[in-house]
Structure 1
Amino acid sequence: MQSGQSQASADAALHSIIPAGGAGTRLWPLSRQGAPKFLLDLLGQGVSLLEATILRLAPISASVTIVTGPAHTEAVEGQIRRLKDAGLLSSDLDVSVVTEPSGRDSMPAIGLATALVAQKYGTDAIVGSFAADHSIGDEDAFRSVVLDAVLAARRGYITTIGIEPTSPSTAFGYIEATDQIVAPGAQLVSKFVEKPPRSVAEQYVASGYLWNAGMFVMGADTVLDHLGRLHPRMATTLGTLASLWGGVDAEVASQIDMAWNDLPRIAIDHALAEPVAEDGGVAVVAAPPAVAWSDVGDFAALADMRRDGALRRGTGAIPVLIDSDGAFVSGHSDRVIAVVGIEGAVVVDCEDALLVTTREQAQRVKEVVDTLHSRGNERFT
């Protein structure tokens, strides 16, 4: 990371929102409820995925709002301090942490952050929501794509950033764009589709569909107006919460908790993007493969990014890979971990858990977490 990229520009166009939640169950046992993947340095860059996200957005952001749960607030605040103390992040950049009382999925988190930004900076502010645990290869190219999305957002569109597919992946949802150009670099969205089977994914890629990376750039007034139309009760509650937020009075805190926990659990895709797309109100800016976006969603994705096939932690595991192309090894100690003759093997050795699988089965790792929960072994999750 270059410290020169940490200074927000004087005419920053964006108020960035980073929802930081979830346990990253497909990366168990590295990622757990107490230490989810966004807090980890999984890529060996010297910063966590969250820290990398903040630094990536800082040069084009007037403010950054991170929404996280009570269990992770202290760690998130600690990582922000570390960036500032190291001179990687300007002390002048407005970076705030919003602690949601409980997880209600992405729409309440993004909606609350948007209401708080609107309250502080005005309803004409442009907000952008970006996951805390994704990775970008070419950050300059990515920022250029985001700024194109800002232009479309200023024209009243909820603007998503689609990723030009490199394969017919079944791990992502897809976006179908029309030929209609609504802003420089932005096309009108026809529809969003859920994760498809491989045969359908192949058709989508051949037809020019984009991967849905779950990134949205939009006017604060656009978000709040659509919420008021589509989910009036949620919009009213979020407005009330924003007016109460930050109060230290115990009675106010209780009111906030009760109101928050009454909100529905719903993702922004289902709450806004899909219905607004049906009305012609969603645009997409395509990020080319050169941006090298990854959701770091499972060990297959992580293995692709760690070309040496190993993630060494603690005193450093000693991986020995023999005739095992595409294998991935992660170790917490100085013991030797050898894989012989197993292509695409995945071995993750932690102090209290050992995972052995293959890249082909990487999406199924979350079933281990589900099984542990069903057996009452939550302490391992």
Structure 2
Amino acid sequence: MVFVSDIPTRDMTIPGFIPVVPAGGVGSRLWPLSRPERPKFLIDLLGTGATLIQATVSRLAPLGTELLIVTGERHAPAVSQQLPDVPAANIVTEPSPRDSMAAIALAAALIEQRHGERIMGSFAADHVIPDADAFRAVVATAAEAARTGKVVTIGIAPTEPSSAFGYIHAGAPLADAPGAFEVQAFTEKPDTETAASMLAAGGYSWNAGMFVVSTSVLLGHLARLQPALESGVRQIAAAWDGPERAEVLARVWPTLTTIAIDHAIAEPVAAEGGVAMVPASFAWDDVGDFDSLAGLLRPGPDGAVRIGRDAPISLVDAPGAVVVGGTKPVAVVGIADAVVVETDEAILVLGRASAQRVKDVELP
């Protein structure tokens, strides 16, 4: 298991930079492995000995002198247990989900309340990035671009015309921010045909939801575009480290607009010319479903991908099988690319091509 204290001592700190890790969501396309009480960021999905949030914090820790986690109240004890090097004061808890903008804005307001203006970076807790050095180099470039007053996002080089991700359309290079490009527009998840035409046209990257920006710039845009949300998080931040936190949080948090940062800030500010993108070529995966998860792991000698499982598997004319969890023997006969998931709560059987549809499962 990798903890913050295990990070090499070579100085990679970005001056005035504070990473923020929003740790929310339930990973519905990884049900029943990921559930509301046990979301995917708290699970060692890849069998490395570190959960996704532990790997994320280890990747980010060298870049700043401190780091904030924003997570739900129900997950805070597990987050604290898994991240003993993160001070309790830096684990910021949400009473209820309000989407990404409220979480990131509260972190920005709390950073300003404690330290004044800083460059912050928001990086989800459940992404897989094997090349940490390449990632950190891109973040450093993004931080320098953010000092020019831009909202900066990191664009991932697409490996296929995927309909699972949004896209960023890059424009001309920024003269005052080497390595960064203006963002012309964001595109919501397109269908595969549209995605293919975008990639053929060139200039498009996957939107991984990573943002680097000055706290004052972020909150300034929010004050223009979502004034009630900006006012609310500032009220909460002002009370956070004092005796009135619980009362203010209970009163103000439910009034905050539920909206993603893409819709609240990225898209409208890009239309005004205020967003930049730093392209990244490192491997990246948001482990969004069982098909993408299986693609990150090496099959055994029998061709099956095993995740959290030692019990026997028998395959008969069943290439590409993925078997997750469980203690009973599993046999797959005559079905290609089958996924079998067993937990204490449920059993799931699907084809890898339908992995995105797990979120549509309805059970009593």
**TM bucket by the smaller chain?**
over 0.9
1:259 maps onto 2:280 in alignment: no
CA RMSD after TM alignment: 1.9
Instruction: List per-residue Cα deviations over 1:128-147 (Å, max 9, x = no partner).
Output: 00001110021111111111
In structure 2, runs of 5+ residues without a counterpart are: none
Alignment of 1:7-18 (within 5 A): 9=11, 11-13=13-15, 14-18=17-21
- Of 337, 341, 352, 2:334 maps to 341
User: Could you tell me whether the CA contact under 8 Å between 1:65 and 1:96 is conserved in 2?
Assistant: yes
User: Could you tell me whether the CA contact under 8 Å between 2:14 and 2:140 is conserved in 1?
Assistant: no
Give the counterpart letter for 2:119 in structure 1: I
Name the % identity: 49
After TM superposition, the structure 1 stretch with the greater mean CA deviation from structure 2, 228-237 or 53-62, is 228-237
User: Could you tell me whether the CA contact under 8 Å between 1:8 and 1:60 is conserved in 2?
Assistant: no
- Of 107, 110, 113, 1:119 maps to 113
Name the residue aligned to 2:324.
Answer: 330
1:301 maps onto 2:292 in alignment: yes
Instruction: List per-residue Cα deviations over 1:1-53 (Å, max 9, x = no partner).
Output: 58652658474342111111111010001000110000000011101100100
Give the counterpart letter for 2:221 in structure 1: H
- Counterpart CA distance in 2 for 1:281 and 1:8 is 34
Give the counterpart letter for 1:163 in structure 2: I
Alignment of 1:46-195 (within 5 A): 46-81=49-84, 84=85, 96-123=90-117, 125-182=118-175, 183-195=177-189
Q: How many positions carry a matched residue from both structures? A: 355
Q: CA deviation at 1:340?
A: 3.1
Q: CA, structure 1 residues 337+101, in 2 after alignment: closer, same or farther (shift >3 Å)?
A: same
- Counterpart CA distance in 2 for 1:298 and 1:292 is 17
TM-score, length basis structure 2: 0.93
Give the counterpart letter for 1:280 in structure 2: G
1:43 maps onto 2:37 in alignment: no
Name the residue aligned to 1:88.
Answer: none
Give the counterpart letter for 1:299 in structure 2: F
Q: SS where residue 355 of structure 1 aligns?
A: strand
User: Could you tell me whether the CA contact under 8 Å between 1:172 and 1:195 is conserved in 2?
Assistant: yes
User: Could you tell me whether the CA contact under 8 Å between 2:152 and 2:278 is conserved in 1?
Assistant: yes
- Counterpart CA distance in 1 for 2:261 and 2:162 is 22
- Counterpart CA distance in 2 for 1:137 and 1:19 is 20
Name the residue aligned to 1:23.
Answer: 26
In structure 1, runs of 5+ residues without a counterpart are: 85-90, 376-381
